[in-house]
Amino acid sequence: MELYKTLDYTVYPSDKRTITVRLDDKYGGAHEYFCNPTIGYYGNDFKYIDDEIRIRFVQKLDNGDTLPGLQSEQLVYILLDRLEKLNAVYPHDQYGKMKCGLNMFLEACKERIDDRIDRNVMGELKK
């Protein structure tokens, strides 16, 4: 099995694939990502540099150990904070739509957590 896979996602309007995931046997890769950072938009495209930023998500192993990392919600709260601050300087109608989508994600996360707590499987590797 390959150790890493470059994902097919691109950041509009670029066609460059800049996100890589570390693969694993159980999830196919869902806990460690690497992104090429950009230095901005120039000449009708984003310029990416040959470097990487690592994003690691928390992972509970089958033996019960936990590898520390971000929660998905933390990443979304960072995005919400960034949107609010950018909108204060460069307002745009689309910020409201972006904020709504992120809040919808957070609401779904809360519903999932509540369901897992109600079923007594929160924090466990159970469906």
Q: What is the DSSP letter of 32?
A: E
Average pLDDT estimate for 30-45: 96
Examine the domain organization and report whether 45 and 4 are in the same domain.
yes
Examine the domain organization and report whether 7 and 58 are in the same domain.
yes
In a domain, 125, yes or no: no
Both structure tokens of 49: 């540099």
Average pLDDT, the chain: 96
In a domain, 9, yes or no: yes
Q: Which residues pair with 21 in a beta bridge?
A: 5, 33
Q: How far is CA 110 from the centre of its chain?
A: 17
Look at residue 1 and tell me whether its pLDDT is greater than 80.
Answer: no
Examine the domain organization and report whether 51 and 18 are in the same domain.
yes
93 is in which domain, residue-wise? 71-120
In a domain, 23, yes or no: yes
CA–CA gap between residue 124 and residue 102 (Å, rounded): 26
Examine the domain organization and report whether 50 and 64 are in the same domain.
yes
What are the pLDDT digits (tens) for 60-114?
A: 999 999 999 999 999 999 999 999 999 999 999 999 999 999 999 999 999 999 9
Q: What is the reported pLDDT for 61?
A: 94
What domain count does the chain have? 2
Examine the domain organization and report whether 10 and 63 are in the same domain.
yes
Query: Look-up: residue for tokens 């230095």?
Result: 39
Whether the pTM exceeds 0.85: the reply is yes
Strands 19-22 vs 45-48: parallel, antiparallel or unpaired: unpaired
Examine the domain organization and report whether 79 and 114 are in the same domain.
yes
In a domain, 29, yes or no: yes
Cα atoms in the 13 Å half-sphere on the side-chain side of 118: 6
3-state secondary structure at position 26: coil
